[in-house]
Structure 1
Amino acid sequence: MKNKIILKSAWVMSVIIVLLTAGFIPQSSQAGTDEFPLMEITVDELIAEYEKGTYTAVEVVESYLDRIETYEETYNAFTYINKDALKEAKKIDKMRKKGEKLGPLAGVPIVIKEAVDVKGFPTTFGWAPLSKEADGIKLMPSKDASVVTRLKEAGAIILGKTNIPAFSASGTDANTSWAGPTYNAVNPSLAPGGSSSGTATSISGNFAVLGIAEETGGSIQNPAAAQSIVGIKPTFGLVPTMGVTPLSSSTRDVLGPHARTVEDAARMLDVIAGYSEDDPLTEQSVGHVPDKGYASLLDDTSLKGKRIGLYGPGWRTEELSAETKELYARAIKELESQGAEVVTDPFAGTGFAEYVKNAPSQGRESFFYDLENYFENINPNLTTEKVFEKAGAIPWEDGGPLSSRANLPGKDNPDVLPDLTEFKKVRSEYRKMMKEVMEEHDLDGFVYPQMSKAIPKLGEGSIAATTVSEINVGGWPLITVPAGYYKNGSPFALAFLGQEWSEPELIGMAYDFEQATGHREAPQLIDK
């Protein structure tokens, strides 16, 4: 398969017009989703097939690359395809044949969000002036991001990098990307979620088994919810973010898995989580990663006896739509049927919702400092000023993708970290309030509808998440799990959330819910 380095914006824009005006309804393609032998396969299932000799890694990678080639012109999930994927698969096959020790993801096809550095691939920020394919400049990282190194060491095979909006600056879609919009695998007329749009489409559409997503304000959870997959937004500091194009790496940025099952997401988290000397912020994770890994704690009775807080005006005054209320009510009954006890609006009377309204943008103060550090990490001779001078455009000028950040501190002195006292005060207050609520009501976590209303049509509004940016300012973990569909076919998802470092408990509860309900349905894709 050819290396995808061509700009397809004109063609893709024609597709979006057709889909939106025709009222697209998903249908089977000529290739037929049922004919794909690896449809919805999990990590454990794939490894078992490798060990039985049913497949080789080369055969599996070829199958996924063929599937990508069939559907890429419709869904536009990728910015680049890895031309060395088959070579890497062949290496895994040789190691397996010789009986050599293999990593936990040996031969598992994965995708990486465009915002994450992969050696040998340009880093474009999703923005045309930084993309050679869009007549911009070319930035080539000299090394892999920390998580990419860990995934390669685990034996994962990177199929490609996935599409994002310019500077990851949308929680709804990737329409501003130099590569054109990405389309929702469940229904291309719906917003795909952002900014990890391409990763979500790749996983939901069965273009890979696992994917790396990234979040500053909704970018793991929104696409996961929009495309009926699982997303884990980890506690800030659990996963190293060295080598990731930043929006707020000193305060909010996190990396996490996209997967089709909770177990697969946990297995990926097992590989990428924990302290890295490349990222001092991960020092706080020491002692918080389970000794035997997150996947070892999966239990389909995890909800039994748990006390769970429900969404209400104490958390946020935004009303749920009528249909969201119906779907949420059904989900609550499903939680209760698994033995959970629910507590209505435990944040009521705490003042949390009012406090949040005054701090929605907290944590952006470090942007210019973080960006300067990122460029220096690519090349010690690079500076923010030099990069954008060469690109001939500045993203925070009027009309740019980051115009809202023009007045943030540090623009004229990016070598110095701005004062984060106010941000730390706000984060501390968020955490104090949550801790007090959980102690007062003896809660084990919270389960909310991830969105307050159905996903909008692509280009016709923004995703209405119930947890952004509270989760991001608080630095809390959140797991998105498929929980059904609206009458129009739009996915409905639950968000399992809790205090910092509560991933083991949240993963267990999310797994129990998933196993009891099985709400995800594999999308039926269309080709051109």
Structure 2
Amino acid sequence: MTPADLTLAAAAAAIRDRRLSPVELVESVLDRITRVEPGLGAYATVTADRARASARAAEEEIAAGHHRGPLHGVPMGLKDLIDVAGTATSAGSRVRDGHRAGTDSTVAARLSEAGAVLVGKTHTHEFAYGLITPQTRNARNPDRVAGGSSGGSAVAVAAGTATFALGTDTGGSIRVPAALNGVVGLKPTYGLVPRHGVTALSWSLDHVGPITRTVEDAALVLPALAGYDPRDPASVRSGPPDHRPAPEPDLTGLRVGVPHTYYFDHVDPEVEAAVRRAVDRLSDLGARLTEVGVPLARYIQATQWGLMVPEATAYHARTLRDTPDRYAEDVRVLLEAGELMPAGDHLRAQRARTLMRREWARLLTEVDVIAAPAVPLTAVPAGRESVTWPDGTVEAVSDAYVRLSAPADITGFPALTLPVGHDHAGLPIGMQLLGRPFEEATLLRTGHAYERTAPAVRPREHAPRDTVPGTGGGDAGIPAGA
């Protein structure tokens, strides 16, 4: 294995102990980009010169005794909705041709302060308005969809072309591609991570969060992102707690809710079986399983679309009027549909969200975590538009992928997805954990306990088996789900 294959936790420890330099790590990642990026299309822009300069600066700082923490000298990708001063934020659209950000977004500034090294901007479905990311191929099978809209970020992490990345999540856009590519995705509580300088899709639903190789890695990134920013009206004033999971995989006393409605309806049997095995593993670790019902399930899809569609159209009102031909057809149709939606529908969706938040909060007094599939099926072949379920129901692929993610966006409650197996074709399967607002630590503790005791998963076939200095070689540091 090479340094590009290291988890964030392993890379951070090696850098801290001076067994690996940021320059070596960044060069390994850039070499991986050169070799695999042409076949994957994870990046809109690769900032190689900037990355090398930042890595040298990090190496000099650490040598001088100024180690900023676990992100110092670690290469990252940022979804191409996130402003970085002097670089383009194209949002995957011709509408943004010629755009360059004047200042850093809050999250980019915070990661820079933590010492993270930007290697590039990752592809997004145009303006984050889709679940496919058509520019990008799945890291596990290039004939399958990457998922979206943070498909580039998930593929970069899965392929070893970034040690971690950021995505955004409005209807599942962190968790869907993370699940389809076999990595970890965390959608934090609404308002915990500021969105200033991040291109909006839907103001009342948008979240920013990390995509990583392990749950432990996500716990290392989140504290650098979280914290109040007055420039984001939704930002909360509570300081970020300690999100680090417990070192021992003991879940004694944890109450895990397993839905008997909604989350296992219209789900591929292989996905259901893998998730139920993972839930049983939580029980083996001491968790107490309880069947729960999902409140107001019949209103979830209507509420998601009733919030997102008119808000997206409002954001794009001027450019949709002036340059409609510069949008991709699938996105333009959605934006134009928003112009036809009555204000009353949006207001009803707002009322439904209020009721859902109340009922989900009540449900989460009875259990600490809800465990369910992240997506109802693994990555479909590129170009496939619908899925037919055994009962004859036909569902659009995008609707299928967003269906199980939407509740956490509507309520604003935190959700974590992590890999828990593969289907018969070797495609990753993800389990989703949902929890109470601002209790990310509970989700991370639960997910980390599972991944600490999960069966070993084979490494990527394309990954070289070189030895990383100071790690002892072998499989040390191979990411879970890789």
Determine the structure 2 residue equivalent to 1:367: 312
The TM-score with structure 1 as length reference comes to 0.79
Matches of 1:241 and 1:418 in 2, distance apart? 27
Counterpart check, 1:401 vs 2:338: no
**1:328 Cα deviation from its structure 2 partner:** 2.6
Q: Return the offset for 1:502.
A: 2.2
2:226 corresponds in structure 1 to: 273
Q: Secondary structure at the match of 1:94?
A: helix
Is the contact between residue 184 and residue 213 of structure 2 (CA under 8 Å) also seen in structure 1? Answer: yes
Call closer, same or farther: CA 1:346–1:388 in 2, change over 3 Å.
Answer: closer
Measure the CA separation in 1 of the matches of 2:200 and 2:104. Answer: 15
Q: Stretches of 4+ moved more than 6 A in 1? A: 417-420
Contact 2:167/2:208, CA 8 A, preserved across alignment? yes
Alignment of 1:196-275 (within 5 A): 196-249=150-203, 251-275=204-228
AA aligned opposite 2:224: V
Question: Any unmatched runs of 5+ in structure 2?
Answer: 386-396, 465-482
> Counterpart in 1 of 2:90?
124
Q: Which of 42, 62, 75 lines up with 2:7 in the alignment?
A: 42
State the Cα deviation string for residues 228-287 of structure 1 (Å, max 9, x = none): 1110011111111111111112x001110000011111111110011112212113xx33
Structure 1 residue 418: Cα displacement: 11
Aligned to 1:287: 238
Q: Give the aligned partner of residue 142 of structure 1.
A: 102
User: Secondary structure in 2 aligned to 1:366?
Assistant: helix
Q: Do 2:94 and 2:327's aligned partners in 1 also have CA atoms closer than 8 Å?
A: no
Partner of 1:488: 425
On the 8 A contact 1:224/1:480 being kept in 2, the answer is yes
Question: Unaligned regions of 5+ residues in structure 1, if any?
Answer: 1-33, 131-136, 176-180, 373-383, 412-416
CA drift at 1:100: 2.9
Please report how far the alpha carbon of residue 424 of structure 1 lies from its aligned counterpart in structure 2 after TM superposition: 3.6
Name the TM-score, length of structure 2 as normaliser: 0.86
The Cα of 1:288 is off from its aligned counterpart by: 6.3
Matched, 1:503 2:437: no
- Deviation for aligned residue 1:480: 0.4
Residue 341 to residue 183, structure 1, CA distance change in 2 (3 Å) = same
CA–CA separation in structure 2 for the residues paired with 1:506 and 1:392: 42
The verdict on how the C-alpha distance between 1:52 and 1:360 changes in structure 2, with shifts beyond 3 A counting, is closer
Indicate whether 1:452 and 2:376 are aligned: yes
Structural mapping, 1:374-389, within 5 Å: 384-385=318-319, 389=322
Where does residue 388 of structure 2 map in the other structure?
none
Superposed displacement of residue 127, structure 1: 1.5
Computed over aligned residues only, the root mean square deviation of the Cα atoms, in angstroms, reads 2.6
1:97 to 63, 67, 80: 63
Quick check: 2:4–2:28 contact (8 Å CA) kept in 1? Answer: no
Q: Is the 8 A contact 1:427 1:475 kept in 2?
A: no
Q: Distance in 1 between matches of 2:368 and 2:415?
A: 13
1:85 equivalent in structure 2: 51
Counterpart code for 1:306: L
The 1:106–1:410 alpha-carbon spacing in structure 2 relative to 1, beyond 3 Å, is farther
**Could you list the per-position Cα deviations for residues 29-59 of structure 1 after superposition, in whole angstroms to 9, with x for gaps in the alignment?**
xxxxx4xx21531333223322343332222
Report what 1:18 is aligned to.
Answer: none
CA distance in 2, matches of 1:346, 1:388: 44
User: Contact between 2:226 and 2:240, CA under 8 Å: does it hold in 1?
Assistant: yes
- Residues 1:326 and 2:273 aligned together: yes
8 Å Cα contact 1:163-1:199 kept in structure 2: yes
Return the alpha-carbon distance in structure 2 between the equivalents of residues 50 and 502 of structure 1.
30
What is the match of residue 428 of structure 1?
354
Residues 276, 331 of structure 1: alpha-carbon distance in 2 compared, 3 angstrom cutoff: same
Distance in 1 between residues matched to 2:363 and 2:254, nearest whole Å? 15
Q: Separation in 1 of the partners of 2:218 and 2:18?
A: 25
2:255 touches 2:367 (CA, 8 Å); kept in 1? yes
